[in-house]
Structure 1
Amino acid sequence: MDWDQLELNPKVIAAIKKAKLKSIKEVLHLSGPDLQRLTKLSNTDVQHLLKTVSLALRNNCVLTGITELVGQSSAGKTQIGLQLSLCVQYPYEYGGLESGVIYICTEDVFPDKRLQQLIALQHQLRTDVPQEIIKKIKFGNSVFIEHAADIDTLIECITKKVPILLSRGMVRLIIIDSIAALFRCEFGIQHSITKAKYLQTIGAKLHQLSSGFQSPVLCINQITSTMDERGLAGTNLNVLERVSPALGITWSNQLLMRLMVSRPSSEFLRDTDASATGIVVRTLSVIFAPHLPQSYCHYTVNEEGVKGTE
């Protein structure tokens, strides 16, 4: 590794070389305290080093595997999926992959009207991109839509149609909206083993496509809720609602990363300015990921798309 190519203080580079660290992999395999002991650098310098090499690694490759986006109804899952369908078409320097997307719908009709609205307002949303670049991108021509009404159709789609589009370089992103819908309709509790086998089959194929073609996969998932009653007999019970991603542990084991979106309850909205302004601030949380800490950010969904907010 040529450490001089990274934006690091010469003092940090000298310490790395003295510690005989030869690759980004070696640096990332060490904890912060271990790096401090090995390089004799301050905690601030070590954190800057870790951030710099992480960015360098992410800029040089695509993080492959299955990313799940899970959340309640109307939290903005499909909106994020649609926006990613356009983001993937931008040049690399603006966060894109210069390719298209295959969007597989399993439940609702594809929201084409909303997609066209987002396309028309890209110049307002992406003010970081020169207008001449946005005008050159034919967004609508690179969104390939498939509908899968049952599990067999979904498997046929990801084993036959998707590989053709990927091999021809026509797409670099796969979105399934939603992965839970088909299983919710077709399987009962008595079919848990068959359900698990299907989930493993789909997960394995998506992993193969993602790693083989260096293309991210986004699976939108739903949440399930259970009522948890707590209290003593003869007293008023406290009823709590617990939510968790659908499809259980078998599906969770197929994932590289899980993100969860949520929006405030209607009771909360009535007590805030959102009821007057119509602006609902939603939350996106990292539940688990190999390269990110558990954290969260806020966003809104408006006419031109999804926007981060303070």
Structure 2
Amino acid sequence: MEVSSLPISASQRAKLLSAGYTSLSSLSSVSPSRLAQDLKISENEAAEILKIASRRSGLEKIETGSHPIMNGAQTAWEMLHEEESSICITTSCSDLDEILGGGIRCKEVTEIGGVPGIGKTQLGIQLAVNVQIPADYGGVGGKAIYIDTEGSFMVERALQIAEACYEDMVEYNSLLRKDSVAAYQVDKQPKDFLENIFYFRVCTYTEQIAVINYLEKFVSEHKDIKVVVIDSITFHFRQDFEDMALRTRLLSGMALKLMKLAKKFNLAVVLLNQVTTKYNEGSFQLTLALGDSWAHASTNRIILYWNGNERYAYIDKSPSLRSASAPYAVTGRGIRNSASNSKRVKLM
């Protein structure tokens, strides 16, 4: 049960959510003094909140019975069949799709990180467009949510990529006609791609938590959502945080909600991440932000990097994919296969 259902004041609810206490279970093991410190309220007020939460938690147990309600067990064979039949969202780069087993998988959380200018946002926008490719063209036929924490989403760039996607579908149709195969009707126009990208701009970490808490309700009302892109997951958590325990608790809560969302609605969650430096064996090395503990928040982790003038993607972590690298390019048409003369060029 969410803390938003507690019969307390709006300011108290806001303080709880800001401090990372989003569910009754998160309040079950905290002391009044610790809660008072986290919420910057008196110990008496904190004790009263915990008392109300305890009563509400007890009522919930009575209503649902003393034993937790568990879903039936799933066999390993069923899990394998489910994994083999899972749908993927193409990246528009066949080399990258190949090492990913077809693209970005639904029902999983995929973290993509790299240095500035490597193409993280470009890839995020590409996925928001590609998720809409109809099933007739080998796509998912879904819609996208784009959560922008940095202000880096460019609608003009999204239109460019949508126009290229539309042109690719028209070209595919003409090839079918040449081969005397019945062609499909191209119903989507470039503007239709933009209409199916739901954009959220968040300016603080509290707004970010609020939007992620709202996602389950939003997705349940928009059944066709098949990808959620967060660009970037880290931005608001790399500043103004003296209490690292609070930051860890907030991030863990977000990660759990996103994993649950991906599984429940059979959609892909894509977390774009920044890089930082880490001192290791006498030298500083680039690593993804938020530390080693955050690495467990995603199913797959992909690191984007430069190799000379060429961009590469490397599968750093995945339970089902082997570690491998693939070159890719950021072009005027979006993410594509790399060409030997791929250079660091400004697109717009």
User: Would the TM-score normalized by the shorter structure come out above 0.5?
Assistant: yes
The normalised TM-score by structure 2 is 0.62
Residue 248 of structure 2 aligns with which residue?
196
Deviation at residue 167 of structure 1 after TM alignment: 3.4
- In the TM superposition, what are the counterparts of 1:184-263 in structure 2 within 5 Å? 184-188=238-242, 191-226=243-278, 230=282, 240-263=283-306
Residue 68 of structure 1 aligns with which residue?
111
Of 196, 205, 210, which aligns to 1:156?
210
% identical equivalent positions: 24
Of 188, 205, 228, which aligns to 1:174?
228
**Structure 1, unpaired ranges of 5+:** 1-23, 30-52, 231-239, 269-279
Residue 58 of structure 1 aligns with which residue?
86
Kindly provide the CA deviation profile for residues 20-45 of structure 1, in whole angstroms up to 9, marking residues without a partner as x. xxxx955998xxxxxxxxxxxxxxxx
In the alignment, the residues of structure 1 paired with residue 87 and residue 159 of structure 2 have an alpha-carbon distance, to the nearest angstrom, of: 30
Secondary structure of 2:297's aligned partner: coil
Measured at CA, do residues 85 and 181 of structure 1 come closer, stay the same or move farther in structure 2, by a change above 3 Å? same
Measured at CA, do residues 129 and 196 of structure 1 come closer, stay the same or move farther in structure 2, by a change above 3 Å? farther
Contact 1:68–1:220 (CA<8 Å) still a contact in 2? yes
In the alignment, the residues of structure 1 paired with residue 281 and residue 210 of structure 2 have an alpha-carbon distance, to the nearest angstrom, of: 43
Equivalent residues, number: 239
Residue 68 of structure 2 aligns with which residue?
none
Measured at CA, do residues 160 and 63 of structure 1 come closer, stay the same or move farther in structure 2, by a change above 3 Å? closer
Contact 1:88–1:95 (CA<8 Å) still a contact in 2? no
Residue 130 of structure 2 aligns with which residue?
87
Secondary structure of 1:121's aligned partner: helix
Deviation at residue 309 of structure 1 after TM alignment: 3.2
Contact 1:176–1:219 (CA<8 Å) still a contact in 2? yes
In the alignment, the residues of structure 2 paired with residue 156 and residue 27 of structure 1 have an alpha-carbon distance, to the nearest angstrom, of: 35
Q: Report the AA paired with residue 234 of structure 2.
A: A
Deviation at residue 301 of structure 1 after TM alignment: 0.7
Residue 201 of structure 2 aligns with which residue?
147
Residue 17 of structure 1 aligns with which residue?
none
Deviation at residue 180 of structure 1 after TM alignment: 0.9
Q: Report the AA paired with residue 250 of structure 2.
A: Y
CA RMSD of superposed structures (Å): 2.9
Deviation at residue 96 of structure 1 after TM alignment: 2.7
Of 308, 327, 333, which aligns to 1:298?
327
Contact 1:180–1:247 (CA<8 Å) still a contact in 2? yes
Secondary structure of 2:250's aligned partner: helix
Secondary structure of 2:86's aligned partner: helix
Measured at CA, do residues 183 and 309 of structure 1 come closer, stay the same or move farther in structure 2, by a change above 3 Å? same
Deviation at residue 116 of structure 1 after TM alignment: 1.2
Measured at CA, do residues 27 and 85 of structure 1 come closer, stay the same or move farther in structure 2, by a change above 3 Å? closer
In the alignment, the residues of structure 2 paired with residue 120 and residue 27 of structure 1 have an alpha-carbon distance, to the nearest angstrom, of: 40
Measured at CA, do residues 192 and 178 of structure 1 come closer, stay the same or move farther in structure 2, by a change above 3 Å? same
Of 301, 313, 322, which aligns to 1:284?
313
Measured at CA, do residues 211 and 301 of structure 1 come closer, stay the same or move farther in structure 2, by a change above 3 Å? same
Deviation at residue 184 of structure 1 after TM alignment: 0.8
Q: Report the AA paired with residue 58 of structure 1.
A: S
In the alignment, the residues of structure 2 paired with residue 92 and residue 287 of structure 1 have an alpha-carbon distance, to the nearest angstrom, of: 30
Secondary structure of 1:102's aligned partner: strand
Contact 2:106–2:226 (CA<8 Å) still a contact in 1? no
Kindly provide the CA deviation profile for residues 57-112 of structure 1, in whole angstroms up to 9, marking residues without a partner as x. 33599641311001111111111111001110012353432111110000124211
Residue 307 of structure 1 aligns with which residue?
336
Deviation at residue 117 of structure 1 after TM alignment: 1.4
Measured at CA, do residues 60 and 223 of structure 1 come closer, stay the same or move farther in structure 2, by a change above 3 Å? closer
In the alignment, the residues of structure 2 paired with residue 213 and residue 284 of structure 1 have an alpha-carbon distance, to the nearest angstrom, of: 27
In the alignment, the residues of structure 2 paired with residue 76 and residue 227 of structure 1 have an alpha-carbon distance, to the nearest angstrom, of: 25
**Structure 2, unpaired ranges of 5+:** 1-74, 90-104, 175-183, 340-348
Q: Report the AA paired with residue 244 of structure 1.
A: T
In the alignment, the residues of structure 1 paired with residue 222 and residue 79 of structure 2 have an alpha-carbon distance, to the nearest angstrom, of: 34
